[in-house]
Structure 1
Amino acid sequence: MNGEIGLWLSVLSLTIWVILLGFWGQFWRSDQRLTRQETDLSMFPTICAVIPARNEADLLPVTLRSLLNQDYPGHLTVILVDDSSTDGTANVARDVAQELNKTQQLHVLSGQALAPGWTGKLWALHQGIQYAQTLTSPPDYFLLTDADIEHDALNLRCLVAKAQQEDLDLVSLMVRLRCESFWEKLLIPAFVFFFQKLNPFPWVNDPTKSTAAAAGGCILITREALTRIGGIEVVRDALIDDCALAQAVKSRRFTQFPHREDKGDREDREDKGENTSSSPSSPSSPSFHKIWLGLTNSTQSLRPYPSLSTIWDMIARTAFTQLNYSLGLLIVTVMGMIVVYIVPPVCAIFGLLTGNSLVAIAGLSTWLVMAYAYLPTIRFYGCSPALALCLPGIALLYTLMTVDSAVRHWQKRGGTWKGRVYSKTIKAG
């Protein structure tokens, strides 16, 4: 590397970071959070929580208990779909409900064999949702949650209040991921940071923007919205199912029954004395249905990632899927990660070693801007601020995980989860 090339690369990286900080949805602030706002509603809707569970016996005594003990005045039913577990998951779930004297509240289903074209989690969710429709009182909302999530006692109440008060079709939480081991502290906050950069939460929460995303560990969705898009089966083959579901819900064009929906909307507006001559997507109306995605400190995932290999496998499982299995997008991504994250410290060190002050200053300035952007996420997870300076090295590891994800896919080892391997026929969402 010569000084001129180093200077130009540093300036390019700095320009990108200025654009990211100033014009990319303020993603880095990590300020979209579910707060304990006023939750005294005039009416508490009926909720059905659906939990897909495959070999989760170790976590259910804590996570299922947290859901059954929700401080929620309305009617709450919990459906746990046992997805071919071999560790007694179903029995553990029943024992938890019996211990809490809430056996009437919990329904345990034995999942059917995985249907072709479905991922295991979505197939389990589909069965739970279908079963819920047969209950005496069909739910107003579905809470789609994972078996490793420990819910704060007020979580459901806050989610429902958020949805009701802001007329949201979907509310989702990026729950607090476990951050205890060395590798978790080093890599997990960056996972959340990169997710927010790909899907700026303020843009997700803006009904005038098309950006849509959700976090699959905790999704509250109205039954009407789920019916409108054609049910969970519309994303049945999506490995990144949470974001695919959010996109389907937010888009006004994604309607399984457009004529019936439009007629219902028109009748509602007529009942209210509103003008029905304009379409629901007129300029005066939001361009998209309203959804919301945010962070929370109080509801958390108990899924442990104690080693580099466990986090590596978690990322490599879907990273290439996110790129739609495209070699071209992989090359662009790798080059982009190098320019945005790796170039600044390399140029700073190169400039210092060669005595080129311009290159050193440009590289160091970009490195500090990068650390500044990462700092709110680091603080959210209660980690040492010094880790913000480690983002270039962290980004290098994530880049290698992404490349490995592609290699695994080409070797037909991609998309492995809970003993199942999903092929390219499963979409990215």
Structure 2
Amino acid sequence: MASSNSTRRPPPDPVAVLRGHRASVMDACFHSSLPLLFSGAADGELRVWETVQHRTLSSTWAHGGVAGVYSVATSASIGNRIISQGRDGTCKCWAIEDGGLSKKPLVTFRTNTYHFCKISLVKSPVGAMESGFSPMELKDDERDVPAISSYQMGGRNIMALAGEEPSQVELWDVNVGERLISLPQTQNMPSTEHLKKGKGMCMAVQAFLPSESQGFLNLLSGYEDGSILWWDVRKPDVPISSVKHHSETVLSLSVDGSCTGGISGAADNKIVIFSLDHGMGSLTLKKEINLERPGIAGISIRSDNKIAATAGWDHRIRVYNYSKGNALAVLKYHTASCNAVSFSMDRKLLASCSEDTTVALWELYPPQSRTTRAMPALMHDAEQQQ
């Protein structure tokens, strides 16, 4: 009798491979509504790709010298703009125009940061902006919190990154390139020194705006010692929760589409799925997934919270059922370390980028129409393996 392994379908190949970069592709992200993908490479090149015909629309040398582009980020909340982060001490905000990007950045942020923590724009619960969510009336002790307290500022125009003092996290106004606040605040020196000595540099951040926060920004930050802190800007001196689920440096964090949980990856050999209890202010371990090889450089959770993907040092993209935590597929194309993964907002595509200078596009469990009852083959096969 043939073994069950012989009947399993192999994982899919990429539907397209985008070639053109001449250096390691460090990050990639999709436009929120247009068929565009943005990718940044270690030599400073920022490319705009059209995802239907898989061609380059424009190429910009965004960050010069050996600094390179380390991160790229865009979202519906900031409109037709994209932010690039270089290891030259700057971030730049570009206008998305017909055929590519503006010739010059709209705003240049002089962050004076030279580390390896990628920037984060603010993630809001899926549907929050459409439903007209707005902050509740402020309490007296909350009126002195900076402008980030309002939904419009906090949800639409804020960028988070590890700070000039790399144990801190800084929040910046995307519109004007102004630094608003540091977590913890610099005037609280005992707290800052304890963070620096105990946890090391901040290596991953994720800003988000849970509906339970009354319009106040929240943020997760991961550190060299494997710990993760949960911040609320109403309490900028002390995190509301601190956990240590990893034994090595936290490299990647992603909060899900409902802002009630997420995934962390690190330099160790495990992935952690966690839940966020907003009532208790606790970050709780939900599931720990052990890996054969260490190193998860990037994580993305699809907006419908059904699947998640990770980018591994072992050249592999791993796909998981987000709610159950079980593995669905291991995608093998890249020939060098994978640096990042990103889902498109329409949930049809996954982009993976690698040190092998390529960006691969994958179709994984695309949304099914109401008249379609058949499960995608890959999902069906993955469930048969359980």
Q: TM-score, normalised by structure 2?
A: 0.26
Bigger Rg over Cα? 1
Greater RCO (CA < 8 Å, at least 6 residues apart):
1
In proportion to residue count, which structure has more helix?
A: 1
Q: Normalized against structure 1, the TM-score is what?
A: 0.24
